[in-house]
Amino acid sequence: MAAAMLFVLSLPACAPAVPNTADPPGPRASPERAAELEALYRARVERDRQRFTEADVRFMTDMIVHHGQALVMAGLAPERAESQPIRVLAARIENAQRDEIALMQRWLRDRGREAPEVHVSGAALHVQTTGHGHHDHSGMPGMLSQTQLDELAAANGREFDRLFLTYMIEHHRGAMIMVRELLGADGAAQDPELFRFASDVHVDQAAEIARMESMLTAMSGSQSGR
């Protein structure tokens, strides 16, 4: 028994030493090494910026205009919508797409390409460009005609809500088609930032379509129940 107690009492002396948290940290990288690592990082970022194709540029350019038309539609909601959820949805779409337009414009400028400016005036979208590139956006998937935009602008109350949901669903589906066309193009979407953005657009638009379809179904059901 005495021998066993002696063994137990001797254990702390045999245990590994606990590291002293007050010990100074290991040596840091020299200023020269830190500058070298910074230069390598910046070189990689610049290399990634050059990993783009004309399909990437066309996608970002067209999507700026596509988002611009969504701003036109959303901007009509505050004065015309009957439903508060429609106003909230329109505000959410407007805020998100303005942020994404700024992202796409920066992406293009960082790569030495022209970035269109979009300006909303009532039911009209004005696209400002200075180059001589691709400017005919009427054939893009989901883009509404000016007749449809005028119809939306002339509607009020419940009719506006119905048209807004119907046309915005169509518009969102068009954006998803544009993403799929980009990902199907040879060599496109190799740029990490563009790929993440395009993927997010597809996911976000799909989620909003599902939400709007539910709102449209509920609206139709309440109208038929009158």
Tens digit of pLDDT for each residue in 136-166? Answer: 677 899 999 999 999 999 999 999 999 999 9
At residue 9, the 3 state secondary structure works out as helix
Q: For residues 225 and 22, what is the distance between their CA atoms, to the nearest angstrom?
A: 74
Which pLDDT does position 41 carry in this prediction? 65
Confidence of residue 224 (pLDDT cuts 50, 70, 90): low
pTM over 0.75: yes
Cβ atoms of 74 and 124 within 8 Å: the answer is no
Burial 181-198 (b: 16+ CB within 10 A, else e): ebeeeeebbebebbeebb
Tens digit of pLDDT for each residue in 177-222? Answer: 999 999 999 999 999 999 999 999 999 999 999 999 999 999 988 7
pLDDT of residue 134 exceeding 70, the answer is no
Q: For residues 43 and 181, what is the distance between their CA atoms, to the nearest angstrom?
A: 30
Q: For residues 137 and 88, what is the distance between their CA atoms, to the nearest angstrom?
A: 28
Tens digit of pLDDT for each residue in 19-57? Answer: 454 545 555 668 877 777 776 666 666 565 668 999 999
Give the C-alpha distances (Å, rounded to integers) separating 221 from 143, 215, 226. Answer: 28, 10, 9
Residue 40 is inside which H or E element, if any?
Answer: helix 31-49
CA dihedral over 30, 32, 34, 40, signed as positive or negative? negative
Q: For residues 208 and 201, what is the distance between their CA atoms, to the nearest angstrom?
A: 10
Tens digit of pLDDT for each residue in 76-129? Answer: 999 999 999 999 999 999 999 999 999 999 999 999 999 999 999 999 999 998
Give the C-alpha distances (Å, rounded to integers) separating 55 from 23, 63, 159, 178, 182. Answer: 56, 12, 38, 11, 7
CATH 1.20.1260.10 correct for 50-127+142-218: yes
Measure CA 95 to chain center: 11
The residues, ordered by sequence, that sit 6+ positions from 117 with a Cβ below 8 Å of its Cβ are: 105, 127, 128, 129
Over the chain, what is the mean pLDDT? Answer: 86
Q: Which has the higher per-residue pLDDT, 29 or 5?
A: 29
Over residues 61-74, the mean pLDDT reads 98
How crowded is residue 202: how many other Cβ atoms within 10 Å of its Cβ? 18
Q: For residues 104 and 179, what is the distance between their CA atoms, to the nearest angstrom?
A: 14
Which pLDDT does position 14 carry in this prediction? 44
pLDDT of residue 69 exceeding 90, the answer is yes
